[in-house]
Amino acid sequence: MKLLTILANLGLAAAVACPHRKLKEAGLLNEAVLAKYEELKRDGGHIEQRSSNGLLSPSTLSGLSLPLGGGLVNGVLQPFTGRLSFLVPPTPQSFGLKAIPGTDINHRYIAPGANDRRGVCVALNTLANHGYISRNGITTWAEAANAIQTVFGFGYDMAAILSAVGLIAGGDLITGKYSIGGADSRVPDNLGPSLGLDKHGVCEVDNSITRVDTYFGNQANFHLDRWQALLNDVAAHGNLFSQAAFTVEKKRSYDDSRATNPVFDAGPKWFVIAHGERVFIYRTMLNGTSPDTAPDFGNVGPFFLNETFPHNWFRRPTPFPFADFLVDITSLYLGSPVELGVNEGLDNFVPLGTDPSVMTPSQIACFVLENILDEAPGSFSRVVVDNYDIVQGFLNGAVAPFFANYNCDLQNYTVPSASAGEETTGSSSDDGPAIVNGVYQR
């Protein structure tokens, strides 16, 4: 009962279909976590207000200017202006239980051809193989955001933010285009090299589930041995790809990278992305007909081994909003807390000094925003830094408005970080061929 009250105070009861599922998972949490949630009860002022269609209510964000348009009206992103006037924002899609791809002939599986891009993200690869985004793997901010709402039931806010991060990580802000794999001439380089989603360091991080750390080679390709190691953790947890299984898998893979990768980077981006990709599996790859049950092999296997949908698969019946994502990544982190920091050589881990386990969800949200607004542009090329007003206009108009309810101090984040202008490469993808039963068809 105590936990139910706490979760209700977190605003979860209104936002998700089944708080009991979360309660069950909360059984994993220790005393420190419960203490943190107690703190939240007292800090209940930042609960998001949602209208019946699941969109954020209109709100203002103090200190935020929108020099190039964007912003939210009735929870929907508005058009951009000036240099960003060709950028098309995502639009809200309909939700509810639905067979995907069902009998829709337009969305049947077609294996990627020689000129088609595939990369780090199994979900985007699957969407491209089924034509929910462009089959050539060159997508846009709006196309990918709309597709992950339609197919996986991501909430509008979650979808818009995630695809915006994909765009700023490796795409072209002026056209909104990005490659879901490596660099591609079909994506313009208006603001410097568009290196694609596979580019290491912004969105692609160490400690992926089935991809190796960049230090060990191509960071975009699927590795059967990593998949097998995951299956062992799943087998030890009732054969389900549950939060409990990923609590163990994440810690195991973190410990392994920290011990063997001399440049292992477990910084703030790692915190958000490494936890996020694991959460996505048990929140949005599950079969919507059993939304309260973690997915099993028959459900998750086809996404990873063949980049296609399982037979008779339904998307989740309710949207997965950004507020739930924040709670879920924190909860997964707290199941097996590890130090944030970087290896500067083996046996020389330099802690970051940031401890997510003592943060409230509002602070976690601002920590995420800080990373998007500050650190990501810091990895851009010099050309982007010189055009920073465009980047800032996009971030202010497309991403920051979704954080309105978290009281983040935006003044801290509105200049490029100290590392800005360093050319970040590391796009070593040789993506493209179809994958069948976990083996690339070269």
* DSSP conformation class of 239: T
Identity of the residue, 80 or 132, whose beta carbon is nearer to ligand HEM in the bound complex = 132
Identity of the residue, 141 or 403, whose beta carbon is nearer to ligand HEM in the bound complex = 141
Amino acid sitting at position 95 = F
Tokens 């976990």 correspond to 438
Residues 6+ apart with CB under 8 A from 426: 199, 200, 201, 204, 214, 219
**In the set 12, 56, 77, 209, which binds ligand HEM (CB under 6 A)?**
209
Footprint on residues 257-276 left by ligand HEM (CB under 6 A) = 273-274
**In the set 40, 161, 187, 203, which binds ligand HEM (CB under 6 A)?**
203
Of 37-45, 97-105, 197-205, 232-240: span binding ligand HEM (CB under 6 A): 197-205
- The least distance separating ligand HEM from the CB of residue 40, rounded to whole angstroms, comes to 27
- The least distance separating ligand HEM from the CB of residue 109, rounded to whole angstroms, comes to 17
**In the set 194, 210, 261, 379, which binds ligand HEM (CB under 6 A)?**
210
- The least distance separating ligand HEM from the CB of residue 166, rounded to whole angstroms, comes to 3
* Count of residues near ligand HEM by CB under 6 A: 27
Q: DSSP string spanning 25-56?
A: HHTT--HHHHHHHHHHHHTGGGPPPB-TTSPB
16: contact with ligand HEM by CB under 6 A: no
308: contact with ligand HEM by CB under 6 A: no
Of 14-22, 278-286, 337-345, 358-366: span binding ligand HEM (CB under 6 A): 278-286
What is the spatial distance between Cα 244 and Cα 241, in angstroms, rounded to a whole number?
8
281: contact with ligand HEM by CB under 6 A: yes
Q: Is the dihedral of CA 295, 144, 327, 226 positive or negative?
A: positive
Picking from 258, 270, 211, the residue whose alpha carbon sits closest to that of residue 430 is: 211
Picking from 205, 196, 337, 204, the residue whose alpha carbon sits closest to that of residue 261 is: 205
Footprint on residues 85-124 left by ligand HEM (CB under 6 A) = 120-124
- The least distance separating ligand HEM from the CB of residue 60, rounded to whole angstroms, comes to 27
- The least distance separating ligand HEM from the CB of residue 226, rounded to whole angstroms, comes to 7
Identity of the residue, 299 or 387, whose beta carbon is nearer to ligand HEM in the bound complex = 299
Cβ–Cβ under 8 Å, residues 230 and 209: yes
Of 81-89, 107-115, 200-208, 384-392: span binding ligand HEM (CB under 6 A): 200-208
Identity of the residue, 125 or 362, whose beta carbon is nearer to ligand HEM in the bound complex = 125
Tokens 């780090």 correspond to 120
- The least distance separating ligand HEM from the CB of residue 73, rounded to whole angstroms, comes to 23
Per-residue interface string for the shown chain with ligand HEM, residues 147-176, x marking contact by CB under 6 A? -x---x-x-------xx--x----------
- The least distance separating ligand HEM from the CB of residue 42, rounded to whole angstroms, comes to 34
What is the spatial distance between Cα 348 and Cα 364, in angstroms, rounded to a whole number?
27
Of 240-248, 277-285, 383-391, 430-438: span binding ligand HEM (CB under 6 A): 277-285
Identity of the residue, 10 or 296, whose beta carbon is nearer to ligand HEM in the bound complex = 296
Residues 6+ apart with CB under 8 A from 397: 66, 68, 69, 70, 71, 77, 78, 80, 84
Of 89-97, 279-287, 338-346, 416-424: span binding ligand HEM (CB under 6 A): 279-287
Task: Return the SS3 of 349.
Answer: strand
- The least distance separating ligand HEM from the CB of residue 262, rounded to whole angstroms, comes to 18
Identify the bridge partners of residue 265 per DSSP, sorted by sequence position.
Answer: 342
Of 106-114, 205-213, 231-239, 380-388: span binding ligand HEM (CB under 6 A): 205-213
Q: How many helices (H) and strands (E) does the chain have?
A: 16, 11
What is the spatial distance between Cα 295 and Cα 286, in angstroms, rounded to a whole number?
5
What is the spatial distance between Cα 396 and Cα 69, in angstroms, rounded to a whole number?
9
* DSSP conformation class of 114: T
179: contact with ligand HEM by CB under 6 A: no
| Inter-CA distances, 204 with 22, 199, 266, 311, 420, Å | 28, 6, 12, 29, 18
Cβ–Cβ under 8 Å, residues 152 and 285: yes
Which residue ranges make up the site for ligand HEM (CB under 6 A)?
120-124, 144, 148, 152, 154, 162-163, 166, 197, 203-205, 208-211, 273-274, 277, 280-281, 284-285
